[in-house]
Amino acid sequence: MVKSISGWVLCLSLLLVACEKNSDPISPAVDTAADTGNNNAVAMNLNFAKTFSAVQQDGMWIIDLKASIATWGSEATGPEQRARILLVPKDRPVPTMEGEFADAQLIRIPVERIAVNLAPFEAMLTALEEDNRLVAVGGPKSYNDSIRKRVLAGEIAQIGYGWHIPPILDALLAAEPDLLLMAMGDLSHSSQMARIRDLGVPVLPMFINSEPHYMGKVEYIRLLGLLTGQDQAAEQFVAMVAEKVDALKTAAAAQASKNVISAWYSGSGRWMATVRNSEAALLRDANGQNLLAEPDDPRRDEFQKLATEQLIIRGADADCAILRDSHSQVFRDRKTLEQFRAFRNGCVFAIDGMNKLQADAYDYYEGAVIRPDRVLRDLVHMLHPQLRDDTSFMYIQPDKPFYD
């Protein structure tokens, strides 16, 4: 009897191990039209994105999106958000909107007038040389001088940034867009999508901030390529960034690994620390051992609040540290800073490059989102000084004020 029970235990253990090995905690099963067995369906080859899929079928594109919306610095508290979008060329008939398309949002392509509520979408259109299609943006904080001038001149409407508020309806409707690319900084914003659609503006939800890896964010440019007739250019852009990232990862892997932390001071003895997902992946790929790391989780934000005492306990032995960004509160307690090896060794950095302070514009939150290779290059050169050159730092650079 003991032998029999032991056999069952062994079998069960092997089954559990097999299930664990085959699981992927950050890979959502986005249902796509390709799963239906339609012989005419050809899926877009996406190497990184986890929150959307794209399938070409009968001359149109079927986009399926699914993501959890995590509150900034916290976690997702509500259900996953789902959407199905049909991109139908203007010269083709509209399919019957029933059955599998009953709840789909129809968008005619190419789209002429585009509204966006997040700066990285401006950067994507700029990269595709299609920013002339913009009729509404979040506000006047564009790093792109041309876009910002058009906003200040009243040529482009201001509808509010998605990380702060849902779109301002009056301004959005007055701009008469053919499409709104909508990011949501909070689950409560999702209720606005149906209302905006009812008012006659098609909405494409953009779950870019829910992508667990930084290259997944880049791959969202493929959607904008479909919308503007620039899919080939968008595909080439992703390939270019991926190639540069791979070269940097290879160079970093040949160096000795370094301990690192990244956190910025939010005031009242609290820090926002990089612990998981896309920002943490950049530290890993620079061959850095993040002393604040937590398991990746698409239902949790990449930042986590830590008290100063916690930051010291967990991060004191970091060889290098990023302890400030452009929006941090001032922290100049030298007694605390001297408890960090990184400070004593002169390896404290700040995310404060590529700013236009008079315009309150910061490219780290705009262009860098789709050029993570540039951020990774900064991190590689921060951790491995032997690889530096005269143009090493773009966004993340030595934080001289910490030592003044």
The reply to whether 61 falls in a domain is yes
What mean pLDDT comes out for the span 320-343? 94
What mean pLDDT comes out for the span 226-252? 99
Residue 311 has pLDDT above 60, yes or no: yes
Domain-terminating residue out of 207, 237, 267: 237
Q: Three-state SS string across the chain, please? A: CHHHHHHHHHHHHHHHHHHHHHCCCCCCCCCCHHHHCCCCCEECCCCCCCCEEEEEECCEEEEEEEECCECCCCEECCCCEEEEEEEEECCCCCCCCCHHHCCCEEEEECCCCEEECCHHHHHHHHHCCCHHHEEEECCCCCCCHHHHHHHHCCCCEECCCCCCCCCCHHHHHHHCCCEEEECCCCHHHHHHHHHHHHCCCCEEECCHHHCCCHHHHHCCHHHHHHHHCCHHHHHHHHHHHHHHHHHHHHHHHCCCCEEEEEEEEEECCEEEEECCHHHHHHHHHCCEEECCCCCCCCCECCEEEEEHHHHHHHHCCCCEEEEEECCCCCCCCHHHHCCCHHHHCCCEEEECCCEEHHHCEEHHHCHHHHCHHHHHHHHHHHHCHHHCCCCCCCCEEECHHHHC
What mean pLDDT comes out for the span 71-86? 77
| 185 and 84 share one domain | yes
Do residues 342 and 318 lie in contact, with contact meaning Cβ atoms separated by under 8 Å? yes
- Look at the chain and report how many structural domains it folds into: 2
Local confidence band at 6 (pLDDT 50, 70, 90 cut-offs): very low
Local confidence band at 33 (pLDDT 50, 70, 90 cut-offs): low
Q: How high is the pLDDT of residue 255?
A: 98
Q: What's the rounded Cα separation, in Å, for the pair 363 and 375?
A: 11
The reply to whether 271 falls in a domain is yes
Residue 187 has pLDDT above 90, yes or no: no
Do residues 167 and 175 lie in contact, with contact meaning Cβ atoms separated by under 8 Å? no
Cα separations in angstroms, 114 against 142, 156, 204, 213: 16, 10, 11, 26
Q: How high is the pLDDT of residue 68?
A: 82
Q: How high is the pLDDT of residue 301?
A: 81
Residue 34 has pLDDT above 70, yes or no: no
| 46 and 154 share one domain | yes
Q: What is the mean pLDDT of the chain?
A: 89
| 291 and 145 share one domain | no
What mean pLDDT comes out for the span 9-24? 37
Residue 17 has pLDDT above 70, yes or no: no
How much of the chain exceeds pLDDT 90, in percent? 76
Domain-terminating residue out of 179, 208, 237: 237
What mean pLDDT comes out for the span 321-332? 91
| 118 and 211 share one domain | yes
Local confidence band at 15 (pLDDT 50, 70, 90 cut-offs): very low
What mean pLDDT comes out for the span 109-125? 98
Q: How high is the pLDDT of residue 115?
A: 99
Q: What's the rounded Cα separation, in Å, for the pair 307 and 320?
A: 19
Question: Nearest Cα to 32, choosing from 24, 23, 41?
Answer: 41
Please indicate whether residue 305 or residue 16 has the higher confidence score (pLDDT).
305
- Quote the domain boundaries for residue 196: 42-237
Model confidence pLDDT, tens digit, residues 357-389 = 999 999 999 999 999 999 999 999 999 999 999
The reply to whether 161 falls in a domain is yes
Domain-terminating residue out of 237, 269, 297: 237
The reply to whether 3 falls in a domain is no
| 115 and 159 share one domain | yes
Local confidence band at 64 (pLDDT 50, 70, 90 cut-offs): very high
- CA-CA-CA-CA dihedral for 391, 392, 397, 398, to nearest 10: -100
Model confidence pLDDT, tens digit, residues 242-252 = 999 999 999 99
Kindly tell me the sign of the dihedral angle through the C-alpha atoms of 25, 75, 142, 359: negative
CATH of the domain at 327: 3.40.50.1980
The reply to whether 30 falls in a domain is no
| 169 and 207 share one domain | yes
Model confidence pLDDT, tens digit, residues 19-29 = 333 333 333 34
Least confident of 19-28, 61-70, 263-272, 388-397: 19-28
| 156 and 54 share one domain | yes
Q: What's the rounded Cα separation, in Å, for the pair 361 and 278?
A: 22
How much of the chain exceeds pLDDT 70, in percent? 86
What mean pLDDT comes out for the span 152-168? 94
The reply to whether 69 falls in a domain is yes
| 164 and 260 share one domain | no
Local confidence band at 1 (pLDDT 50, 70, 90 cut-offs): very low
Model confidence pLDDT, tens digit, residues 250-262 = 999 999 999 999 9
What mean pLDDT comes out for the span 268-279? 95
Q: What's the rounded Cα separation, in Å, for the pair 117 and 127?
A: 17
Q: Give one word for 99, left, alpha or beta, with left for phi > 0 and alpha for psi -120 to 50.
A: left
Q: How high is the pLDDT of residue 191?
A: 79
Q: How high is the pLDDT of residue 380?
A: 98
| 265 and 192 share one domain | no
Q: What's the rounded Cα separation, in Å, for the pair 330 and 267?
A: 8
The reply to whether 283 falls in a domain is yes
Do residues 299 and 76 lie in contact, with contact meaning Cβ atoms separated by under 8 Å? yes
| 75 and 178 share one domain | yes
| 281 and 190 share one domain | no
Local confidence band at 81 (pLDDT 50, 70, 90 cut-offs): confident
| 178 and 265 share one domain | no
The reply to whether 136 falls in a domain is yes
What mean pLDDT comes out for the span 156-173? 94
Cα separations in angstroms, 101 against 53, 87, 95, 193: 16, 12, 9, 18
Please indicate whether residue 403 or residue 207 has the higher confidence score (pLDDT).
207
Cross-strand partners of 263:
273
